[in-house]
Structure 1
Amino acid sequence: MTRNRRDRDIEGRARNARPRDGLGRPLPYGEAGVERQPEGVVRAPAETLREAQRLLDAGMPFHAHEVFEDAWKSGPADEEALWRGMAQLAVGLTHAARGNSTGGARLLLRGAERISGYEAPYGIDVRALTSWARELAERIDAATVDAAAEAPRLLRPGHS
């Protein structure tokens, strides 16, 4: 069976149906991969943070990035920078775990800058996250990092 160059969903939009590993890298068709995050899910902020933390703790920052992407696309306009910054932190960790230290550092710093203007919305520990991102960006090099071991805590202590 031959495949189209681009997989399409039922509405005809391009969707890559290839299986992916835990860091979001495409695998060959037919291989077992990690279940993809559904797209376009509208979640309450607390649910977004719980799901993203679960994925980060499991060493799946690419998938956490997709959860944050849903939040920035479906949330209020005045929170777009917050959720987009959180997504950049997750994808920065993804790149670092894939061995792309330059891209990882760049995205970690960009995400930290984007969220730095917020106090602690929804219990997010903005100060700790920006410190974590800057520290990780400083010390990653050409070696890959362990995504689960480097996963940040998203919420301030005492928030769940």
Structure 2
Amino acid sequence: MDERDRDGEGRARNARPRDALGRPLPRGAVGEERAPEGVVRAPEVALAEAQALLDAGRPFHAHEVLEDAWKSAPEEERQLWRGLAQLAVGLTHAARGNERGATTLLERGAGNVAGYAASPLHRVDVDGVVAWARALAAAPGTVTDPAASAPRLRG
């Protein structure tokens, strides 16, 4: 018998509660409220929700919002949203102490976002976000408070 948690369509989904950095907690523990998955949000809403989660020290949860935006975005915007989601995961890894994972995702995310510098979409501060990501990628071990280390997505 399959003991894995499943969603309504039968896909494996871990239903364990999670902490603010997305780490699974024991079953029955009180965890952080999770952002619902698969929600299509207007770009302004997605950016505002992601920023609020980043400001609250919940970059893993911000990543989930940004990932939904990536998956539902028009083709010409997908790399921007993908890059922003990668940056949130990079901050998550830095806050968890995974410096190598943080560096990899921050650099990859910065590369995806940088392609929009000439024509920033949705008022995303492309130059500021890329500079933030590259600085953090150079020193990922400096994150002690993910809220204090969070980027400003818009200028």
Identify the TM-score tier after normalising by the shorter chain. Answer: over 0.9
CA displacement at 1:9 relative to structure 2: 1.7
TM-score, structure 2 normalization: 0.94
Which residue of structure 2 lines up, in the alignment, with residue 5 of structure 1? 3
Cα deviation, residue 4, structure 1: 5.2
Counterpart of 2:46 in structure 1 is 48
Residue number in structure 2 paired with 1:147: 146
Q: SS at the partner of 1:28?
A: coil
Structure 1 spans left out of the alignment, 5+ residues:
none
Residues 137-159 of structure 1: per-residue CA shift (max 9 Å, x gap): 11223x65311010111001xxx
Instruction: Write the distance in 2 (CA, Å) between the matches of 1:58 and 1:103.
Output: 22
Q: In the alignment, which residue of structure 2 is the partner of 1:130?
A: 130
Could you tell me the TM-score, scaled by structure 1's length?
A: 0.92
Number of the residue aligned with 1:118: 116
Quickly say closer, same or farther: Cα 1:75–1:4, change in 2 above 3 A: same
Q: Is 1:101 aligned with 2:99?
A: yes
The alpha-carbon deviation at position 87 of structure 1 amounts to 0.3
Letter in 1 for 2:147: A
Deviations 1:105-145 (A, max 9, x none): 1100110011101032111000000000011111223x653
| 1:67-122: CA deviation from partner (whole Å, max 9, x where unpaired) | 01001111101111000000000000000000001110110011001110103211
Aligned residue pairs total 153
| 2:65 corresponds to 1:92 | no
- Give the Cα separation in 2 of the matches to 1:19 and 1:38: 13
Q: Distance in 1 between matches of 2:2 and 2:57?
A: 31
* Counterpart contact for 1:100–1:144, Cα < 8 Å: no
Distance in 1, matches of 2:104 and 2:8, equals 36
**Percent of residue pairs bearing the same amino acid type:** 63
Which residue identity does 1:149 align to in structure 2? A
Segment drifting more, 19-28 vs 118-127: 118-127
After superposition, the CA RMSD in angstroms is 1.4
Structure 1 contact 40–70 (Cα < 8 Å) conserved: yes
Structure-1 separation of matches of 2:53 and 2:149: 12
Point out 4+ residue stretches in structure 1 off by more than 3 angstroms. Answer: none
